[in-house]
């Protein structure tokens, strides 16, 4: 099951994406291995804010079927043996120029803290008057943590606790 924190999501606009990038804002000794940016988009189609944790190929395939964008089609082709994916969505925004940026990650015991900042267009900048739905896709290690907390500039703190696998 895809876990969503926040309101339900609805099909929206088309997607673009950028390439993978390592987390570099946190010193190497504090950075958990396997936390990297997979993609960011200004138009991912997730119209409500929240977090989505994708743990299996089946979950990724259902996401791609519900939101037929290049971003989610690419996610559906990924290998989930050693990784999970976290999608951070901020919902609808009234103009272009909003961007989610991975600021860093720190593991403290079983908690994985992810810093994500929402960059807004500048007050005196011109921005297209178009509804956007920014999101960020982050690769996470599959093991070594049971709670995830996402916080950052211009974002509320959100937490996801993994359920134990059924026996």
> Radius of gyration over alpha carbons of the chain, in Å?
15
The kind and range of the H/E element at 85 are strand 83-90
Residue 143 CA to residue 63 CA, distance in Å, equals: 22
Entry pTM: 0.78
Instruction: Give the pLDDT score at 150.
Output: 95
Could you tell me if residue 166 is inside a domain?
Answer: no
Tokens standing for 152? 């950052």
Q: Measuring CA to CA, which residue among 53, 108, 110, 61 is closest to residue 84?
A: 53
Instruction: Give the pLDDT score at 106.
Output: 92
Could you tell me if residue 126 is inside a domain?
Answer: yes
Could you tell me if residue 42 is inside a domain?
Answer: yes
Could you tell me if residue 167 is inside a domain?
Answer: no
Q: Report the range of poorest mean pLDDT among 6-20, 27-41, 46-60, 102-116.
A: 6-20
Tell me the average pLDDT across 117-137. 89
The tally of domains found in the chain comes to 1
Beta strands 111-119 and 147-152: pairing type? parallel
Q: Is the pLDDT of residue 66 over 50?
A: yes
Structural domain harbouring 25: 3-161
Highest-scoring range by mean pLDDT, 29-33, 57-61, 94-98: 57-61
Tokens standing for 35? 């936390």
Of all residues in the chain, what percent carry a pLDDT higher than 90? 44
């Amino acid at each position: 099951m895809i876990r969503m924190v926040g309101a339900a999501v609805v099909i929206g606009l088309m997607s673009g994406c950028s390439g993978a990038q390592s987390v570099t804002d946190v010193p190497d000794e504090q950075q958990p291995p396997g936390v990297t940016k997979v993609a960011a988009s200004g138009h991912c189609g997730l119209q409500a804010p929240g977090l989505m944790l994708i743990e299996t190929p089946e979950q990724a395939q259902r996401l791609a079927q519900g939101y037929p964008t290049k971003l989610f089609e690419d996610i559906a082709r990924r290998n989930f043996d050693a990784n999970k994916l976290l999608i951070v969505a901020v919902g609808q925004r009234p103009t272009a120029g909003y961007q989610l940026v991975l600021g860093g990650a720190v593991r403290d015991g079983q908690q994985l803290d992810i810093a994500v900042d929402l960059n807004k267009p500048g007050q005196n900048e011109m921005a297209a008057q178009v509804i956007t739905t920014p999101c960020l896709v982050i690769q996470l290690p599959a093991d070594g943590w049971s709670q995830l907390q996402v916080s950052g500039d211009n974002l509320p703190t959100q937490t996801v606790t993994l359920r134990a696998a059924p026996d």
